[in-house]
Structure 1
Amino acid sequence: MHGDAVVACSAAARAAGVRRRMRLRVALSRCPQLRVVERDLAAEMRAFEPVARHLEDTVMPRLEVIRPGLIAAPARGPSRYWGGEQQLADRLVAAVAELDFPARAGIADTVFTAALAARAGQLVPVGADAAWLAPYPVGVLGLPRLTELLNRLGIHTVGQFAALPEDKVLARFGSEGAAAHRSARGVEARPLTARASCDDHVVTYAFEPAEQLLEPVTFVAKALAEQLHERLAAAGVVCARLEAGIELADGRTLTRIFRHEGRLSALAIAERVRGVLQAWADAGALDAGGERGIVRLVLRPEQLSAATGRQAALFGERDTPEEVERAAARVQALLGHRSVVRVELGGGRGPADRVRLVPFGDLDTGDRLPTGPWPGRLPAPHPATVYPTWLPAQLTDEDRQPVTISGRLALSAAPSHVAVEGHGEAQVAGWAGPWPVLEQWWDRERSRRIARMQIAAADGRAWLLLIEHGRWWAEAHYG
């Protein structure tokens, strides 16, 4: 899952009706026993890079990684070398099988059609893309809002959509719809320029001295991606492919090409670069020569075309993810990297344990899994305010004696008064708990034994208290 949408699913999940781009709620309704995993793009790139390198070494050079698990490459030259398109497809599948992975290959005139053909393991004849695509539902075009609107208009198949006049589609659905219309007609979604690449838009960064750690290179890749987007936007163009390359201290150069339809965000580029670098490091490619370290990072856009913009208001969109990302980047440039954060839920028992504030654009490297079991986890309702530093508190009975909790979780007396530093004292109207927490008991320095209680006061306030070493603290407040 990524952003509440399915990005990949197993054969068993597909058999249960789960599909890519499906919302989590819908997927779980079709398959309640579904195992959900949050996407880690850098890990996927790291795992897939050996497959791409093996194909480049054994079957065809200069592959384009669309996403981990999906690659594209020109078939004309390699098919002649291997004796035909079918022989090339068979050789690709066999090469991947040598690494103990299943694979399917497809060949067509366009990348979009070839990707669909690969799912079925078919070869589309030359010039037959439009006819081959015609029976597919319009949902395969990957634009949910366009699909919904076309279905309302009675257009349910790709062939029906392709039959519409091109100028009418552009006027009604904008550039995004026009690109989908080109795909439906068996034409590349984005017309290419005569030049395969333009050196005017290449961005580079030189490391002095040579950088031997991967994390600084990943950070630079994100900054270079932002610079690249600014240059392309100023020139009014977009790129269909992006080549990321590094120059090593021993004189060698390693490159990888990424293909995308649309705008690769700076974070997406950084994740891809990070995954590929880690894969090269794991394979020993970065240490194969004499001198060690990376001396230069290069991002080179290829297949430039005019930026046609978008008509977001046509489908009710307001702030797109790209616009939010650009705004956050500007704020971070002015106020600091940690000035814009996003909330990530993780594992843990207390409210402060379950929430992590991750700087916008950074990869979430939290090591606490959100899945359980978490014995002693705080039940709902959850507090509105969690204090970064616990507030001293007192919980006493009717005789003003401190309330304690025994090892068997028995209260010494019923709570009668609660007092929190800075918030005065009030009578206790009700309580829930206690809930014990015993964490990392095997580690003397990191072990923790506490118990939590929810306290409702007569003045209308509600507190989350915890007791540790016989002392009460206010951990959070319910607003």
Structure 2
Amino acid sequence: MRDPVTLAIVVTDAPELHGRLLATLHAALPRVGVLDPGAFACDLAGTEELLGAPARVARKVLARCARVGAWGSAGIAPTPFVARVVAERTPPGEVRSVDDGRAFLAPLPLDVLPVDAKVHEELRLLGLRTIGEFADLPRGSVFDRFGSAVARAHALARGEYGDMVRASAPPRRIRARRSWDDAIGSREQLVFALRVVVDEISAALARDGFAALRLELRLDREDAGPLRIERTVLPPTREPAALLRSLRWALEERSELGLVTGCALDV
């Protein structure tokens, strides 16, 4: 089983850039989830071979955020909750990594936990002041006394792996289309014709400071139904040569393309 690794990005001073930041993160990372406005999480488990070490990924992401005018902090930890708390306690522009989530949370005040103020007060009346003291309580006792919501907070306090990243949909797509009067039957001719489409996509990505993580190509054919091809681009890029090369490899995997009369490319 892969070890859990979550990257959290927190930006507190640019609420108006939330949508732009989400689009930026979607262009660079897999499985991006929104924790709150200006707070994002990404599941990086199993991606190190393709994307690089988590700290390196985090620095690149912070650089992308800075280019759209937002100074963010990055936290890396086994769970989204711990990663977010780490990011919130890290200076803007910096990355901090934590391996033991429970040990990191232990000295922090109970206010960090996502429970009602009434529960916070009851925990204080029991003599509890820190997350570590709360985490040391028996699981069954917490559930019996406070119910499932507080039991979940108790699991978070123990650094357990129950809270997963729930990926959100990308905020928008970039598309380019072309059609040709004369059908294209040669693979090499098709790759040459796709250059214009790829250049248009690349320019749109560069204009917004994004990169492509996935390409979706639809080929309209004269002698058959549409052919749909999907390709993951790793590492994400907006360089037209790299995007075209990825499409070429995808086309070479097809034995027959048919007579192509048009295309639509989405990222």
- After TM superposition, the score normalised by the length of structure 2 is 0.53
Q: Using the alignment, how far apart are the partners of 2:26 and 2:170 within structure 1?
A: 16
1:72 match: secondary structure: strand
CA-to-aligned-CA distance 1:100-151 (integer Å, 9 cap, x gap): 21011001111110001112332111xx111111001111003222111111
Show the counterpart of 1:179.
152
2:34 maps to 1:65:
yes
Q: CA deviation at 1:245?
A: 8.0
Task: Find the partner of 1:53 among 11, 23, 26.
Answer: 23
2:121 maps to 1:148:
yes
Q: Using the alignment, how far apart are the partners of 2:147 and 2:131 within structure 1?
A: 18
1:100 match: secondary structure: coil
Show the counterpart of 2:107.
135
Q: Using the alignment, how far apart are the partners of 2:171 and 2:20 within structure 1?
A: 17
Show the counterpart of 1:195.
none
- The answer (yes or no) to whether the contact 1:108–1:123 under 8 Å persists in 2 is yes
Task: Find the partner of 2:98 among 124, 129, 135.
Answer: 124
CA-to-aligned-CA distance 1:225-261 (integer Å, 9 cap, x gap): xxxxxxxxxxxxxxx847568999x999xxxxxxxxx
Identity across matched positions, percent: 33
Structure number, greater radius of gyration: 1
Are residues 103 and 247 of structure 1, via their aligned partners in 2, closer, same or farther at CA, if it must alter by over 3 Å?
closer
Are residues 245 and 87 of structure 1, via their aligned partners in 2, closer, same or farther at CA, if it must alter by over 3 Å?
closer
2:134 maps to 1:165:
no
2:128 match: secondary structure: coil
- The answer (yes or no) to whether the contact 1:180–1:189 under 8 Å persists in 2 is no
Are residues 136 and 246 of structure 1, via their aligned partners in 2, closer, same or farther at CA, if it must alter by over 3 Å?
closer
Name the aligned partner's letter for residue 87 of structure 2: A
Point out which structure has higher relative CO (alpha carbons under 8 A, 6+ apart).
2
CA-to-aligned-CA distance 1:415-451 (integer Å, 9 cap, x gap): xxxxxxxxxxxxxxxxxxxxxxxxxxxxxxxxxxxxx
Q: CA deviation at 1:76?
A: 2.6
Q: Using the alignment, how far apart are the partners of 1:247 and 1:113 within structure 2?
A: 29
Match runs of 1:338-349 below 5 Å: none
Q: CA deviation at 1:93?
A: 1.0
Show the counterpart of 1:316.
none
CA-to-aligned-CA distance 1:147-170 (integer Å, 9 cap, x gap): 111111111110111111000010
- The answer (yes or no) to whether the contact 1:86–1:123 under 8 Å persists in 2 is yes
Name the aligned partner's letter for residue 23 of structure 2: R
Show the counterpart of 1:220.
none
Show the counterpart of 2:217.
none
Instruction: Tell me the number of residue pairs that the alignment of Structure 1 and Structure 2 aligns.
Output: 161
CA-to-aligned-CA distance 1:40-86 (integer Å, 9 cap, x gap): xxxx5x731222212222x3133111222111111234443343122
Match runs of 1:268-347 below 5 Å: none
Are residues 90 and 66 of structure 1, via their aligned partners in 2, closer, same or farther at CA, if it must alter by over 3 Å?
same
Q: Using the alignment, how far apart are the partners of 1:157 and 1:247 within structure 2?
A: 42
Root mean square deviation, CA, Å:
3.2
Are residues 243 and 120 of structure 1, via their aligned partners in 2, closer, same or farther at CA, if it must alter by over 3 Å?
closer
2:69 maps to 1:97:
no
Match runs of 1:43-442 below 5 Å: 47-57=17-27, 59-121=28-90, 122-125=96-99, 128-143=100-115, 144-189=117-162, 241=166, 243=168
Q: Using the alignment, how far apart are the partners of 2:169 and 2:67 within structure 1?
A: 27
| Greater helix content | 2
- Mark the runs of 5 or more structure 1 residues left unpaired by the alignment: 1-7, 12-43, 193-239, 253-282, 284-479
Q: Using the alignment, how far apart are the partners of 1:49 and 1:152 within structure 2?
A: 42
Q: Using the alignment, how far apart are the partners of 1:74 and 1:137 within structure 2?
A: 26
Q: Using the alignment, how far apart are the partners of 1:137 and 1:87 within structure 2?
A: 30
Q: Using the alignment, how far apart are the partners of 2:65 and 2:143 within structure 1?
A: 41
2:34 match: secondary structure: strand
Q: Using the alignment, how far apart are the partners of 1:151 and 1:93 within structure 2?
A: 38
